Structure 1
């Protein structure tokens, strides 16, 4: 097989360059390590955005950086964003049904996240509130799939999810007004997390990713975040707009869902168990989050011992290589990929193969947009 030039007509998988995004929290050292950086460091770039056609221009004082967060093609001699490519021929890249329902939008965003500190407690609007309050067609339901982690100051990776029994809106607002951080944390359930754990975080549910987490987050493509802390755990002063997103300190509390559950009920509601979809001597595919849990996105993990053929079904997808080295084969076209590489698979790709090039099992995550079929 010969390595050939990638076509940009929607019939070839397309490599994307990693794009890091500025955030209010610190992290990113483990992401540096994925790329063999000999001096990995934590910074305010703790996220890598994948398959992204939206920018992070809601960050205060960074609105002028219009392309931050946008995925760029990793194709020799081509300087183009994925967004610009899709706009050239939306049906070829996204699929006819996707375009009919969502226009030129993928309807999904994927992030690789590494946290050196606990993220600020937060929640996101659902679609109804996003439309009403922000004139956005997307809310922000998200899903966390943990792929690694580290201890920070002796504390293993953890998350906070959902209100404990007895918490009320009045209590939650009073704790915010007093900036009683520990009081707010005590209102939420706390869980240690391990690689391969998966949580669905529906819009409106209060949450905070803890320190030491390395995860893939798949979500609706929105960056509307209601924050509860005026100073981040590392001491960064948070602008008022970043806290209430323009709603004000009273109306922002309309975003939260004030349902309360026990610790076990919370896990039952929002921790997702994997489901094996296919299994053979050569490969297996596991569904990590599916349309049965949410119509907004889907994610699977493919494990390749030798080779697997993947059939297209007229919708786009994304691919992220978790481990190993492989060839992505489409007809006579071959692309070599390794850990940390990401690809966009256009809707017009009828099929492709993942061929394991080494002794290590190739593991890859597949990302899908909202349900359209």
Structure 2
């Protein structure tokens, strides 16, 4: 069983961007609001049954392909549903600042959204303009009533002033735990890995085409604010959310580019053939993005030629594999121990 190539899957959104995705994937943007591509997605946008779903080269929905043979694709039949691959991967190319927003954790999603996954996520910086930054968590404890007031007033300046600012560097990995308020400056291009949902709570919608009514997961702010942390992140806690390991050139070994605390939720590694071949990647479902060069993904059954801009999904049944040639790749996989970790609720 061999990998499947993923044709480009741009997603129209409420913010500007997408030109760097188009350049990498070899497409022409249809609008200036295609700032995301969902790679290997078997889940759709919140409130929509189809937007975001990945389609294979022969036109089939990946969701349906996986559901027809989960044992071959994930090595188990124990996902939350037959099409569950345990991860969602995106390219995110923001040309305006993203709004301050929050994602619920697994406990909240299980109670209010009938889903075993929340939306812990992480970013790996593919490119950035100078001076751009991430905003992650509060610098000091925030009063809940004050946050409600600032949200209602759409006081962007107050929100950003109370958040931790992390200047973006190419190759940086940033973990954003569920419940943590965050935003991204325009000018940053990332590969995003996350739990496989589309649950977002907007504290700030006025800089987007979204509305207040579209900002609370159809639950109302009185309910969803229970999924928003108002506690400060200490300097030590913030430091543990950032990794710079990916800033060094990829080599033949698998190099994790995210903080270790991401491992229960998802894994993201980089590796490069450099003309000599890489270490083996263990059997298991993976989303692969070729970020540079060309070469092949080599398996016991043969090899699949790849080049910069290609995206593929690798089934568990393909077995161990490695990269030949000069190709540099990102490899996104479900969290360590998945899908058994679903049985334990929130893994933090």
Does TM, scored on the shorter chain, surpass 0.5? yes
Q: Please point out which of 14, 19, 23 is paired with 2:13.
A: 23
Say if 2:252 and 2:271, in contact at 8 Å, map to a contact too.
yes
Of structures 1 and 2, the larger Rg is shown by 1
Query: Secondary structure of the residue that 2:254 maps to in structure 1?
Result: strand
Q: Would you say 1:321 and 2:304 are equivalent positions?
A: no
Q: Distance in 1 between matches of 2:320 and 2:278?
A: 7
User: Does the C-alpha gap of structure 1 residues 178 and 319 become closer, same or farther in structure 2, counting only changes over 3 Å?
Assistant: same
Q: Would you say 1:269 and 2:240 are equivalent positions?
A: yes
Deviation, structure 1 residue 273: 4.3
Say if 1:110 and 1:219, in contact at 8 Å, map to a contact too.
yes
Deviation, structure 1 residue 309: 5.2
The number of residues matched between the two structures is 335
Query: Secondary structure of the residue that 1:348 maps to in structure 2?
Result: helix
Instruction: Identify the residue that residue 228 of structure 2 maps to in structure 1.
Output: 256
Deviation, structure 1 residue 352: 2.8
Q: Distance in 1 between matches of 2:170 and 2:182?
A: 19
Q: Please point out which of 315, 330, 337 is paired with 1:365.
A: 330
Q: Distance in 1 between matches of 2:31 and 2:236?
A: 35
Q: What's the RMSD between the two structures over aligned residues? A: 2.3
Q: Please point out which of 12, 15, 36 is paired with 2:2.
A: 12
Instruction: Identify the residue that residue 6 of structure 1 maps to in structure 2.
Output: none
Deviation, structure 1 residue 314: 4.2
Task: Provide, for residues 12-52 of structure 1, a one-character-per-residue CA deviation record: whole Å limited to 9, x for no partner.
Answer: 12211121112111110111222455x76862210011110
Q: Distance in 2 between matches of 1:41 and 1:68?
A: 15
Say if 2:125 and 2:169, in contact at 8 Å, map to a contact too.
yes
Instruction: Identify the residue that residue 8 of structure 1 maps to in structure 2.
Output: none
- Out of 329-338 and 128-137, give the one that drifted further: 329-338
Deviation, structure 1 residue 57: 4.9
Say if 2:253 and 2:279, in contact at 8 Å, map to a contact too.
no
- Out of 132-141 and 328-337, give the one that drifted further: 328-337
User: Does the C-alpha gap of structure 1 residues 228 and 57 become closer, same or farther in structure 2, counting only changes over 3 Å?
Assistant: closer
User: 1:199-218 maps to which residues of 2 (within 5 A)?
Assistant: 199-218=174-193
Gaps of at least 5 residues in structure 1 are 1-10
Q: Distance in 2 between matches of 1:85 and 1:16?
A: 13
Q: Would you say 1:32 and 2:3 are equivalent positions?
A: no
Q: Distance in 2 between matches of 1:312 and 1:184?
A: 42
User: Does the C-alpha gap of structure 1 residues 79 and 250 become closer, same or farther in structure 2, counting only changes over 3 Å?
Assistant: same
Q: Distance in 2 between matches of 1:81 and 1:116?
A: 29
- Out of 213-222 and 245-254, give the one that drifted further: 245-254
Deviation, structure 1 residue 251: 2.1
Q: TM-score normalised to the size of structure 1?
A: 0.83
Task: Provide, for residues 350-370 of structure 1, a one-character-per-residue CA deviation record: whole Å limited to 9, x for no partner.
Answer: 2333221xxxx4210011113
Instruction: Identify the residue that residue 51 of structure 2 maps to in structure 1.
Output: 68
Say if 1:309 and 1:352, in contact at 8 Å, map to a contact too.
no
Deviation, structure 1 residue 307: 3.5
Q: Would you say 1:350 and 2:319 are equivalent positions?
A: yes
Q: Please point out which of 59, 78, 81 is paired with 1:100.
A: 78
User: 1:164-179 maps to which residues of 2 (within 5 A)?
Assistant: 164-179=139-154
Say if 1:291 and 1:298, in contact at 8 Å, map to a contact too.
no
